Amino acid sequence: MAIARTYLDWNATAPLSRAARQAMMDAYDLPGNASSVHGEGRAARAALARARAQVSALVGADSQAVTFTSGATEAANMVLTPQFRMGRAPLAVGHLYVSAIEHPALREGGRFAPDSVSEIPVTRTGLLDLDALTNALEAHDSNLGLPMLALMLVNNETGVIQPVADAARLLHAKGGLLVVDAVQAVGRIPVDMAELGADFLIISSHKIGGPKGVGALVARGEVMMPLPLIRGGGQEKGHRSGTENFPGIIGFGAAAEEALALLGERSVRIGGLRFRLEAGMRALAADLIVHGADVERVANTTFFTLPGLKSETGQIAFDLEGVALSAGAACASGKVGESHVLAAMGCDPGLGALRISLGPDTTDTDIDAALVAFGKVAGRRRPAGQAA
């Protein structure tokens, strides 16, 4: 008999929502290319405009400042560049600063040369070290160009909410640009570009119940933009050429609209589930470590260590018990390695850690199943200090 499956890896990807699926099926019935001038083309263009408005509303932005991409990674590579334009005039960015806990899509620096990228440390609680950022900005050579900071709003492993607005004030005082990775934040906490002080914001469709292969770069306005990464036919106002992924974008828009409408309701319910999950885990393993638990986190994420249990071993063990969770970021071709986030927080990354992330469809029954599996896995681990 097959083991019933419990999906608790929503930070890796969310299952396609019914609203997004239906919107995509409707989109397949629209034959026109949005770049065409005939009636069918105009209908497709109107549908894209609606999706653009749905996505922009999720982050409190102007719909005209949304550029659709193939995903968050492309959006990151598009915006992380030393070459910008302010209207028609060139604008140089001299140095990129990234937090030590960034997703690899931003941590690798995009189109910046390696010697033009510096890392800003975090505290032991997983928050950006604002004093270190202040020191880096004071040492920045403005003759090289503006400083840019890439900072995630919510860490994908710990769920810790970063002090983005505080970082923005420090950066803007030096005339710099702030790129915010909001991939794990939208649909889980309120996100408003103006309140955050973000100049650019990156989001992904499949994290909120939309289809995979679609994302967006959202700008504060239309005047200042990076030089295009993909050139060609001039789609997306010339910022990202190539025929748009029409059904994917329509599904993205539907998922964004649903996520915004149900944000408060989902957050409260999911937060209650996580509270019960973590309380149950602590009752089963007194030595449990929940990373980031001392600071504000999004309601759906638990990143934990069971001393004596390696990440890969734990992930396989839970999978065999029918529970899908992860060892952190799920963007490394299935590899399970040491967490750079734990290392940045001053923890021994060799301890190993596992991430449970909940979603809108997670139920009390799922939490029950997770706790049963947790009890079995925790009971089978090697005692602390025993050789592997």
Concerning whether 331 is annotated as a catalytic residue, the answer is yes
- Please compute, for residue 121, the number of CA atoms within 13 A of its CA located in the half-sphere on the CB side: 10
Phi, psi of 265, deg, nearest 5: -60, -45
Phi, psi of 156, deg, nearest 5: -70, -20
Best CA proximity match to 83, nearest among 97, 74, 93, 73: 93
Q: Spot the catalytic one: 130, 331, 343, 372.
A: 331
DSSP letter for 126, please: S
Best CA proximity match to 44, nearest among 60, 56, 28, 55: 28
Phi, psi of 237, deg, nearest 5: 60, 25
Residue 165 — left, alpha, or beta (φ > 0 → left; ψ -120 to 50 → alpha)? alpha
The continuous run of DSSP H or E covering 27 comes out as helix 18-28
If one counts every other C-beta atom within 10 angstroms of the C-beta of residue 23, the result is 26
CA distances from 143 to 69, 116, 131, 156, 313 (A): 32, 13, 23, 35, 50
* Angstrom distance (rounded) from CA 146 to CA 160: 28
Angle between helix axes 39-58 and 246-261 (nearest 10 degrees) is 40
Q: Hey, what amino acid is at 197?
A: G
Catalytic residue list: 331
